[in-house]
Amino acid sequence: MTNARPDFVYTTYIKTTPEKLWGAITNPEFSRQYWGGHENVSDWKKGSDWKHADSKKGGDVRIIGKVLESNPPKRLVLTWADPSDTADESRVTFEIDNAGDMVRLNVIHGSFKPGSIMADKVVLGWPLVLSSLKSFLETGKAIDVMGVKAALNQSCDGEAAA
């Protein structure tokens, strides 16, 4: 018997287009606006490296991985690991589908290794970041991700949903 964690699945509906949502996830200038100053950087081609860096701390890299699948603007699959513990690698899948005049975003974070530390870090982070993404796309104003995490007395150095 293993202690592997189940996949974390988050679904939200956003009043936007698949193209705008794809850009929000993959464009560093866009992602830093709703992700507490963190930006996602890559050319987003299958096999490419990607990183999640803190633009407010001189580009301090919080998460690294590989692009496993890239089908703009529908599906993006990445490996996900803390650069200081690459053995604790997991997988994140973004699925983007039309839903009438909205878009359904499914984020699946899974394939956690038994004893994964990352699994505990993403439980608070993903809902907060995805709520900020939704707010930003629909209203032009993001949630203060770092302020909320601080108020909840959580570590806020990027790993929780970085």
Query: What are 114-124's pLDDT values in tens digits?
Result: 989 998 888 88
* 3-state SS assignment for residue 120: helix
Domain span including residue 24: 8-155
- Cα 2 from Cα 136, distance rounded (Å): 39
**Strand 75-82 versus strand 38-41 pairing type:** unpaired
Q: What pTM was computed for the model? A: 0.89
Look at residue 130 and tell me if it is in a domain.
yes
127 neighbors 8 (Cβ within 8 angstroms): no
Query: What are 106-161's pLDDT values in tens digits?
Result: 999 999 999 899 988 888 889 999 999 999 999 999 999 888 888 886 544 444 44
Look at residue 12 and tell me if it is in a domain.
yes
Look at residue 151 and tell me if it is in a domain.
yes
4 neighbors 112 (Cβ within 8 angstroms): yes
Q: What is the CATH number of the domain that holds 19?
A: 3.30.530.20
Domain total for the chain?
A: 1
- Cα 48 from Cα 73, distance rounded (Å): 17
Query: What are 61-108's pLDDT values in tens digits?
Result: 999 999 999 999 999 999 999 999 999 999 999 999 999 999 999 999
125 neighbors 112 (Cβ within 8 angstroms): no
Look at residue 161 and tell me if it is in a domain.
no
In this prediction, residue 5 carries a pLDDT of 67
Look at residue 160 and tell me if it is in a domain.
no
Look at residue 2 and tell me if it is in a domain.
no
- Residue 41, Cβ neighbours under 10 Å: how many? 17
Look at residue 162 and tell me if it is in a domain.
no
Look at residue 127 and tell me if it is in a domain.
yes
